[in-house]
Amino acid sequence: MGKQNKSNEVISIDNQSLDYNTYLEILECFMKINREAYPSVSKQYIHYTSTQSFQAMLKPFAEEQQNYINLFASKVQFLNDSSEFKTGFDLVKDNYQSFAEKLKTNATLSLRDDAFTVSFCGEEDLLSQWKYYGKESGIAIEFDFGINKPECKFLWTESKQVGESEEWNYNWAFDFNLMPSSIIYGQARQKKALENIVSKIKKNERTMYKDVIITSFIPFCKNISFIEEKESRLLFYPISDKGSQAEIITPIKYWNKNGKIIPQFECRLAYCKTTNKRPPIPIKNIMVGPGYNQTEIFNGVISMLEQGKNTLDYIDDKKIKDITTRVKYSKMQTINSNDLCIVEKSIKTKLSGEEKSIIDNLEYVTYKTSNGITVQMSAIPFRS
């Protein structure tokens, strides 16, 4: 039974364990209804982070030659917005009674408050993100989740065979296909989106777990002060399931970030299908943030992505100094360890045998790795 919230009888907390099959059904309904109720506005999915977190994320690919990377989902109530969760909670609480009758559901809403998320920004090279998340020349990772349908699979559970003494392990047989959903800013838009969700649920009379789908909307409501981030999120709930053949759990761990202890769990991310036409892991681009040690981090990122195949310095310190003080590079041009070309604005140049034009106002030093992932330096002249 849920724990009753005495301050408001329309809400009760119910974090009963979700089994794998139940979660799969909830997830499919949630994604379908949410995308119909408020379509995603994000065209880019960029995750700003520290070099330490980046190294942990890329470790399976860079050091173990695996075709997946790690993500770390954090509990919603521990994120940087002090009104996180409360904004959406108050909206649902204040409006629930008005649409409970429409859904023919209970007068008391069962609320899950154990949501975990991974956040993405819709803007590249954004100074506010570098200052908060990517300190000391941090990293911004642009992911490829697909456009109209999920291209990636996620795994955030460990499993073992029932009745056997095997150790817990990650088993891709229990993966999920997901895409991020957009954050909604501003009370008017949030209320409209909630009404749309209720309408979609009402039309689909077969939809079970109505409470979970409605309350899953809560982590996607955010204060309008954060609107420049154009944020989108992946939503996860922990799983605990002892089936007839396998036992599945989500192991919760704790991360110390800037003196705060944050509940997290590890999530593995990979393409649903691998092809020769795209990189082996679902990453399009990696940008190194502004700072004193930008050059060293740029070279280190390239070495990780090349899996140590090329250990030469890609740009030396003298050329970096020239770039930052006198010269800019086109976003459309690439460099490699043997071919560094200085370009002026609005001038065509030959680079690696191809003629390319400078067509963007923001210009970057760009390196394209042998596996198709590009690495860039931030164009912002900011010293963290």
Reading the chain (384 residues) residue by residue, the pLDDT tens digits are 344 444 445 667 777 777 888 888 888 888 888 777 777 767 799 999 999 999 999 999 999 999 999 999 999 888 877 788 888 888 888 887 777 666 666 656 677 788 899 999 999 888 889 988 766 789 999 999 987 778 899 999 888 877 766 778 888 888 888 889 899 999 899 999 888 888 887 776 556 677 788 888 889 999 888 999 999 999 999 888 877 677 889 999 998 877 889 999 999 999 998 888 889 999 999 999 988 788 889 989 998 998 766 545 554 443 333 333 323 333 333 433 333 333 333 333 333 433 343 334 556 788 888 888 999 998 887 765
Q: For residue 141, what are its two tokens?
A: 């990772």
Amino acid at 92: V
79/62 Cα distance (integer angstroms): 28
102/149 Cα distance (integer angstroms): 30
Residue keyed to tokens 């690495």: 375
CA-nearest of 198, 185, 280 to 233 is: 185
Provide the H-helix boundaries in 8-120. 20-37, 51-62, 86-103
Q: For residue 28, what are its two tokens?
A: 């499919």
Q: Residue 356 forms beta bridges with which residues?
A: 349
| Residue 110 neighbours by CB under 8 Å, 6+ apart | 2, 12, 13, 14, 211, 212, 215
Contact between 115 and 237 under an 8 Å Cβ cutoff? The reply is yes
The 3-state DSSP class for residue 380 equals coil
Residue keyed to tokens 């408020």: 38
Q: For residue 148, what are its two tokens?
A: 């109209």
Confidence (pTM): 0.81
Residues shown for the chain:
384
CA-nearest of 125, 134, 47 to 381 is: 125
Q: For residue 288, what are its two tokens?
A: 């190194």
